[in-house]
Chain A
Amino acid sequence: MNRVLASLTFRQLLGQRRNFLLLLVAVLPIGLALIYRFTEETELSRETGEFAVGMADAMTLTILLPLAALILGSAALGSEIEDGTAVFLLTKPISRWRIIAVKIAVSSVVATLVVVPATMVATWIIHHSPTADGLMFGLGLSTLVAAVLYCAVFVALSAFTNRAIIVGLLYVFIWEAFATRFFSALRWLSIREYATGWGEVFISSDESAIYFDPYLSSSASLVGACVAFVAANIFGARCLNRFEIGERS
């Protein structure tokens, strides 16, 4: 039964014109990395590491990935609700949590496929050597966790309100891109920070630890990520449980 749900969601997500935007999201980091490689002649150094981390943090994790997750997460559930096909799923004896979980899983997989390889390749292009690939795996892991977390939050948001995209955009551009950058204390409530800290799994064992300095320690971000993920699942299921069919808009 999960297979059916997953396959329905996959087919809904793929083959849409909006996926062109997703392609852009994958291509930008690699393009930037290539430009960097061709213009800066620097060897593997602190500078390249900083650039890689800076790009991943400021561009990929703050803007690119959340936008991709917003597109996918709200398409996975929000479009169904808007189109009315959600009623097809909701009038089946499936627990609401299962629906949410599958939607999150599918959108996470697609988001991951789009962004994680791009991030890893981009990082590798900028800052690589046989011994210093910790940065690549570390940033890759952070991106993976961020993909799952953002998708979870946005799917739950779609179950909660049909203006999920506007709320999501406000969250990304006001909270993540702005407020948490200016007021560090707010980073305790930032999804990006929950994800970034995971990178230390691979990076702390590397010299590159000097310029990768996430705000939250790895254990704090581990806890934060798990809490956020579980909370999103529960909240989303709760909203679906109380789903009321709306007036035809």
Chain B
Amino acid sequence: MGMSMMKSGEPVTQQGGVLYDLGYRNYDGPRLGRRYAIRSLFVLSLRNIFGLGRGTLPKFLAFGIACIALAPAVLHVAFAATSPADFELLAYEDYFGLIQMILMLFVAAMSCDLVGNDRKNNTLSLYFSRPIERDDYILAKITALATALLSLTLVPQVLIFVGNWLGAVDGSEWLRDNAKDLGRILLSSVLASIHLASVGLAIAMFAKRRAFALIAVIGVLMLSTGFSSVVVSLVGSGWAGVVMLLTPISVLNAATLFIFDAIPAVAPMSGEGDWPSQVAYADLPGVVWLLAILTHSAAATYLAILRYRKVKP
């Protein structure tokens, strides 16, 4: 393209040697700066979660899990649309409890990839030598994972809403009555997504190898849930509240119940029973659960930021 012509720039002579300007190209275009970098990292992380730009296996995994998570909602829509009367197969507030394992699996698998790949391939130093700040890095990742989780938390609930609407006897009237549920759906799914993303990433970043991070996330989430559920069935309601406040998944479930105003009104006598009655047993004002979920998310995010400030790329 004309570059093969030897440009006779100013030859630099030094004891018989000559340097010619061969037209090294500098970059003079616009530099888009920090915000663009953050946005790019966010989009990249999101794409990686769903396997776009990677092999078929990650795609398979992500979309597979998403499909399983959406399956009950889809069924619900199918039933509701085809059955004659007002029909409610699934309640919004139960959904997270139903797909709890799937959510945990998704969070575990994706958070390990998000933080593990950069460590394994030593690309952290690349990131940190760009306009992006260390805090931005981990915040972008958390946001990306939370956004991805919305497909598992927001989408199914919206589907249920649509299903109920389709199955309602009088569509517009039903819509007027139940429109506020949309707000609740939005709030609960956003909170749930942020919560799971931050907690998952905070646990995953401690392990040095990706595989052990996986064990750590699944282990901590599942064991804490199981353990607390057993303990709650044994102890008094005061302690039950404390234990549940410390357990991420319990806090998530309880906050969801509160948002949908579905905490059972009557506190049972003992802590045994399913998790809604355990929430009722703990007998804490609903707002507390809301604060708890925010606190968990904030604490996890803060932990992540602290760690990435100290980590040596």
Contacts and interface: CB of A to CB of B under 8 A. Distances in A.
A and B touch in the complex (CB under 8 A): yes
Contacts of A173: 101, 218, 222
B248 to A, nearest CB: 15
Contact of A169 (B209, B215, B230, B234): B215
B223 A64 contact: yes
26 contacts: A17-B208, A21-B219, A24-B219, A28-B223, A28-B227, A32-B227, A35-B231, A35-B235, A36-B234, A39-B234, A39-B235, A55-B230, A59-B226, A59-B227, A63-B222, A63-B226, A64-B223, A67-B215, A67-B219, A78-B211, A79-B209, A164-B211, A165-B215, A173-B101, A173-B218, A173-B222
Interface string A32-58: 100110011000000000000001000
Interface in A159-178: 164-166, 169, 173
Interface on chain B toward A: helix, strand, loop, or mixed SS? helix
Interface string B196-212: 00000000001111011
Interface string A79-115: 1001000000000000000000000000000000000
Given A17-B206, A165-B211, 8 more contacts: A17-B207, A21-B216, A32-B231, A63-B226, A164-B211, A166-B214, A173-B101, A173-B218
Contact of B209 (A21, A28, A67, A82): A82
* Top-10 shortest CB links A-B: A165-B211, A39-B234, A18-B212, A39-B235, A67-B219, A35-B231, A36-B234, A35-B234, A71-B215, A28-B227
B247 to A, nearest CB: 13
A74 B230 CA distance: 30
A92 B178 CA distance: 72
A13 interface: no
Interface in A135-178: 164-166, 169, 173
Given A63-B223, A64-B223, A165-B215, A18 B207 contact: yes
A55 B230 CA distance: 9
A237 interface: no
B236 interface: yes
A19 to B, nearest CB: 11
Nearest to A64: B223
Contact of B212 (A24, A28, A36, A165): A165
Nearest to B212: A18
A20 B227 CA distance: 18
Contacts of B235: 35, 39
A125 interface: no
Given A17-B208, A18-B207, A165 B214 contact: yes
Interface of A: 17-18, 21, 24, 28, 31-32, 35-36, 39-40, 55, 59, 63-64, 67, 70-71, 74-75, 78-79, 82, 164-166, 169, 173
Interface in B225-261: 226-227, 230-231, 234-236
A47 to B, nearest CB: 12
Nearest to B222: A63
A18 B219 CA distance: 12
A145 to B, nearest CB: 22
Contacts of B236: 39
A35 B232 CA distance: 10
B234 A74 contact: no
Contacts of B231: 32, 35
A172 to B, nearest CB: 9
Q: Please indicate which of the listed interface residues B206, B218, B219, B222 has the most CB atoms of chain A within 10 Å of its own CB.
A: B219
Nearest to A162: B211
B214 A169 contact: yes
Contacts of B226: 59, 63
A51 to B, nearest CB: 9
Contacts of A165: 211-212, 214-215
Contacts of B214: 165-166, 169
Contacts of A164: 211
Nearest to B121: A249
Contacts of A166: 211, 214
A65 to B, nearest CB: 12
A240 B209 CA distance: 22
A28 B212 CA distance: 19
A82 B116 CA distance: 15
Nearest to A54: B230
Contacts of B230: 32, 55, 59
Nearest to B211: A165
Contacts of A55: 230
Q: Please indicate which of the listed interface residues A71, A79, A169 has the most CB atoms of chain B within 10 Å of its own CB.
A: A169
A164 to B, nearest CB: 8
Contacts of B218: 169, 173
A35 B234 CA distance: 8
B220 to A, nearest CB: 8
Nearest to B233: A39
Contact of B215 (A21, A35, A36, A59): A21
A31 B239 CA distance: 14
Nearest to B104: A173
B237 to A, nearest CB: 12
A170 to B, nearest CB: 10
